[in-house]
Amino acid sequence: MVRPLILGLGSSLSLFIASAHADLDLTPKLSHYELDGVEFKQLAFSDGSKVVTYAPPRGWDYSGSATRLSLRPPGKSQAEATIKKVALSQPASFDEGTVKKLVQEAIASVPPGSTDIQLVSQEKNPLMIERKETFLVALSYNFYGAACNRSILFLNRGTEQIQFQLTCRRADFRELQAAFLDSQHSWQNL
C-alpha cells in the first residue's frame, strides 16, 4: 500500500520538475560587470532559475521580446541581426538529414521577390557556443536590385533551436559577419 503512494508521488514530482523548467526568454535586460577595473555592458536573459548573458557587438542597438532579439549595427540602415528561438518537437543533432533540411529552410527564408539565390557556404561547427555544436549557412541573393547576403547559425539546445541570423548588403557582409560571429563567444549559461 505504501509503494503505490511513493510511485504516485514520484510521478507527480517528475511532472512538477519538468513543468517548472522555463525556456529561454530573449527579452533583454542591460547588466554591467567589471573586469580588471574596466566596466563592460552585456544583456541578461532569464532561463528558468538561471541567468543567461550575452555581449552584442560594441555599439549595436538592440530590442527584443520573449522569442526574438534584434540587433542593428550603427550606420548600416539595411542591416539587421536577429537571435530567435524555435521550438523543436524533440532534441536534434546536425546529421545529414537535418543539415539538408536546415539549408532548405535558410534558402526559403530569403525575402519574397529575391532573385539569384545562391548557397555560398555551409559549415558544421564554425564555432562552439557553451560546448554546443553549431551549423552555419551563408547565402547571397538580389532583392530589388540590391546585392544581399544572409547567414544563419543554428544551435540546438534540448527542445529549442537558437537561430543567429544576419542580413545585410553584400558590401557590408564580411565586416558585420565577423563582428556578429565573434560576439557569439560571449554567451554564458546558454
- The per-residue pLDDT for 33 is 84
**Grid coordinates 537558437 are at which residue?**
162
Give the separation between CA 45 and CA 65, rounded to whole angstroms. Answer: 10
At 115, the pLDDT band (50, 70, 90 cuts) reads: very high
Instruction: Provide the pLDDT for residue 30.
Output: 95
Average pLDDT over residues 151-173: 97
3-15 residue pLDDT tens: 444 444 444 433 3
Helices (runs of H) and strands (runs of E) counted in the chain = 3, 10
Rounded to an integer, the average pLDDT of 136-151 is 97
Which residues fall within 8 angstroms of residue 178, CB to CB, at 6 or more apart?
Answer: none
Contact 51, 39 (CB under 8 A): no
C-beta of residue 67 within 8 angstroms of C-beta of residue 163 = no
Stretch among 17-21, 25-29, 149-153, 167-171 having the lowest mean pLDDT: 17-21
Which DSSP helix (H) or strand (E) runs through 7? helix 2-20
Task: Give the up-direction half-sphere exposure of residue 27: CA atoms within 13 A in the CB hemisphere.
Answer: 6
* Stretch 157-164: mean pLDDT: 95
Question: What integer best gives the mean pLDDT of the chain?
Answer: 89
- Full-model pTM: 0.86
pLDDT score, position 1: 44
Q: How far is CA 130 from the centre of its chain?
A: 12
pLDDT bin (cut points 50, 70, 90) of residue 20 is very low
Predicted pLDDT of residue 26: 97
Task: Convert the pLDDT of each residue in 27-63 to its tens digit.
Answer: 999 998 888 988 889 999 999 999 999 999 999 999 9
